[in-house]
Homo-oligomer: A and B are copies of this chain.
């Protein structure tokens, strides 16, 4: 399928993708990262076969697929540099959490060979040393083609991810940003904000000391990489803001029921949420 795959960003996601590809299609992987330590670790751990801190060095490797696994705000400048480095038939895809207009901007630069993708998998961990070979198994992979996307390129990317064990699903790029703005970006914003709140309330007593398992589960995603999330929030601003506003409305409704002491309506609100949550796997 692909004999030579390049991965830009040798971190947790890029590293996991490289490991998964090497296992599934036995390809050679070339890694690029601005951090020489990541390249060294990636090679030492056998996650990548070759690597460089310099994008230009991809030219010689001549990949058939290149995947962006860096924070999303680097995608445009990297793509601009890539144009002069890649052969015209190299397919380009990504692991980014934001699609929408970013996909169309990528397409302007790279043409129809660009196929947007977003694996719904990850942890709060960062770094190639934490990469997990099976990260994408039985997880969704959202592919976000446009009318312009090359069909063969789309099929090849889709097949690759199926080969990694993912459940591939097509979605409009803008719908993607609405969906994941709600179920992923909004919860992350909330988790980061909750840590800020608890810190501010910890004036006379270190409240973090008293956190139980619930708090730790709840805030685990707040340990996620700040640069990755800064970029997601700044690229999907509109949906994140809408999500925050809708959430504050829900929270104010709950606050109001508590303040009024409306037992019945409060119980209904909580019971609905509890039942709904129980019906989600895990």
Write the residues of chain A forming the contact surface with B, with a CB cutoff of 8 angstroms: 120-124, 139-140, 175, 179-180, 182-184, 186-201, 205, 207-208, 210-227, 229-230, 233-234, 237, 240-241, 243-255, 258-259, 261, 263, 266-267, 269-274, 276-282
Contacts and interface: CB of A to CB of B under 8 A. Distances in A.
A248 B246 contact: no
A96 to B, nearest CB: 15
A229 B188 CA distance: 24
A277 B247 contact: no
A250 B210 contact: no
A242 to B, nearest CB: 9
A152 B219 CA distance: 39
A230 B195 contact: no
A223 to B, nearest CB: 4
A210 B120 contact: yes
Main secondary structure on chain A at its contact with chain B? helix
A266 B195 contact: no
A229 to B, nearest CB: 5
Nearest to A245: B255
A279 to B, nearest CB: 8
A274 B213 CA distance: 18
Contact of A179 (B139, B205, B251, B277): B205
Given A241-B255, A248-B251, 6 more contacts: A189-B255, A196-B272, A227-B267, A233-B258, A234-B261, A244-B254
Assembly of this chain: how many copies?
Answer: 2
A229 B281 CA distance: 22
Contact of A211 (B205, B251, B280): B280
A212 B273 contact: no
Given A194-B186, A196-B269, A217-B221, A201 B278 contact: no
A187 B194 contact: yes
A189 B251 contact: yes
Contact of A226 (B188, B225, B271): B271
A198 B252 CA distance: 15
A128 to B, nearest CB: 18
A253 to B, nearest CB: 7
Nearest to A196: B250
10 contacts: A183-B215, A184-B215, A192-B254, A193-B253, A195-B272, A197-B250, A208-B276, A217-B217, A226-B270, A248-B248
Contact of A212 (B121, B207, B214, B222): B121
A241 B259 contact: yes
